[in-house]
């Protein structure tokens, strides 16, 4: 019974937020107003509240630009959590654009959809990302390229940092700031979530969306911790593999720290 109550409440809150904000977002997208960067954050705050996702932030978002955020990826909830704390746009695989609901939301947030298999389009995609970062947008990259179970960071793909390298010539200071960010799902109803239960928050690729969404609603109150780490200064002479290794090390350290933490409140 409580699951249905939560579902109805979530549906009502998200529907009202969408009705109020979506017309303005569509106008902002059409005329490329900077408001299009802010409205998704407001919508995602409502969505996190409706779904019972409580977000806590550690550290600070880098204030210098151009800026790319590199974030570990465990679930579709990462999009909502990250969007609720910063005005961001995402780099997503092209398949996401066809997903029900989430594909539409990704388009409203002006995500950059990439086709990894088509090498001939890589340059154009990287140029778009570089241009948007040069214009002051914060771009989010999930460098693992897929979702994990929430307990660890998978291998970071250095090839995905190509967009940061291409943005360097457009930067007024000759560098792009790449900031590591760790999202950890740490508790349910304020009680620490152990390793055994954490996959309930993770969304591996072989799990269907709706059953997982129902699991989140059944949990009712989920704690997510977002940790901002020390940025890496990506310059023209930087080596992509070195940057990716440093970013991976910092994400892994923050993720492990959050998962071992005791201060869930």
Q: Are the CB atoms for 123 and 51 separated by under 8 Å?
A: no
Q: Are the CB atoms for 109 and 90 separated by under 8 Å?
A: yes
pLDDT at residue 224 greater than cutoff 90 = yes
Domain parsing of the chain, residue ranges:
54-208+220-260
Q: Are the CB atoms for 50 and 10 separated by under 8 Å?
A: yes
% of the chain at pLDDT higher than 70: 91
- Least confident interval from 76-90, 107-121, 229-243: 107-121
Average pLDDT over residues 50-57: 94
> Would you state the pLDDT for residue 192?
83
Does domain 54-208+220-260 bear CATH number 3.40.1130.10?
yes
pTM tops 0.85, yes or no:
yes
Model confidence at 222, pLDDT cuts 50, 70, 90, reads confident
Model confidence at 44, pLDDT cuts 50, 70, 90, reads very high
Q: Are the CB atoms for 22 and 105 separated by under 8 Å?
A: no
CB under 8 Å, gap of 24 or more: what pairs does 91-100 form? 91/129, 91/139, 91/140, 91/141, 91/142, 91/160, 91/163, 93/145, 99/209
pLDDT at residue 101 greater than cutoff 90 = no
The token pair that represents 157 in the structure block? 């793909």
> Would you state the pLDDT for residue 263?
45
User: Residue 204 — φ and ψ, nearest 5°?
Assistant: -60, 155
Average pLDDT over residues 164-175: 86
For residue 57, what is the enclosing H or E element?
Answer: strand 53-58
> Would you state the pLDDT for residue 118?
56
């Amino acid at each position: 019974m409580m699951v249905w109550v939560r579902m109805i409440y979530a549906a009502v809150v998200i529907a009202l937020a969408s009705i109020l904000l979506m017309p303005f977002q569509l106008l902002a997208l059409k005329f490329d107003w900077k408001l299009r960067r802010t409205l998704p954050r407001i919508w995602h705050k409502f969505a996190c509240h409706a779904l019972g996702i409580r977000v806590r932030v550690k550290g600070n978002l880098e204030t210098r630009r151009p800026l790319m955020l590199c974030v570990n990826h465990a679930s579709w909830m990462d999009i909502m959590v990250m969007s609720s704390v910063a005005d961001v746009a995402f780099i997503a695989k092209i398949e996401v654009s066809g997903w029900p609901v989430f594909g539409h939301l990704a388009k409203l947030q002006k995500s950059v959809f990439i086709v990894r298999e088509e090498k001939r389009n890589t340059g154009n995609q990287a140029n778009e990302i570089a241009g948007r970062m040069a214009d002051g947008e914060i771009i989010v990259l999930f460098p693992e390229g897929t979702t994990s179970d929430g307990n660890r960071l998978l291998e970071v793909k250095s090839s995905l940092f190509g967009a940061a390298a291409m943005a360097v010539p457009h930067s007024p200071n000759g560098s792009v700031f790449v900031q590591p960010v760790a999202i950890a799902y740490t508790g349910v109803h304020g009680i620490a979530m152990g390793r055994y239960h954490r996959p309930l928050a993770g969304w591996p690729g072989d799990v269907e969306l709706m059953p997982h969404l129902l699991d989140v609603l059944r949990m009712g109150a989920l704690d997510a911790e977002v940790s901002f780490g020390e940025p890496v200064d990506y310059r023209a002479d930087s080596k992509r593999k070195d940057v990716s290794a440093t970013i991976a090390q910092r994400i892994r350290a923050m993720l492990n720290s959050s998962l071992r933490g005791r201060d869930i409140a």
